[in-house]
Amino acid sequence: MRFLGDHTGARRAHIIADAENAASRRVAASLDARVTEQWPDGHGRTMIRHVLSI
């Protein structure tokens, strides 16, 4: 995240993960990203958007 903050104009990062992908959800949680949205993808699987400040 530091690289993004130092080298881009980005102020937030978005992590989108399948609700059943525990490893990706753990990564988001380890970064203290908050859940902001959930929706079904084109295959009917629940997707979760996590957002964190950079």
- Per-residue model confidence as pLDDT tens digits over 6-42: 899 889 999 999 999 999 999 999 999 999 999 999 9
pLDDT mean over 41-52: 97
**CB 10: neighbour CB atoms within 10 A?**
12
User: pTM of the predicted model, to two decimals?
Assistant: 0.83
First to last CA, the chain: 6
Query: Does the structure show a pLDDT above 90 at 53?
Result: yes
Q: What's the pLDDT band for 3 if we cut at 50, 70, 90?
A: confident
Quickly list DSSP for the chain: -HHHHHHSS--EEEEEEETT-HHHHHHHHHTTPEEEEEEE-TTS-EEEEEEEE-
Q: Are 10 and 1 in contact (CB under 8 A)?
A: no
> Can you tell me the distance from the alpha carbon of 42 to that of 20, in angstroms, rounded to the nearest whole number?
15
Domain boundaries of the chain, sorted by first residue: 2-53
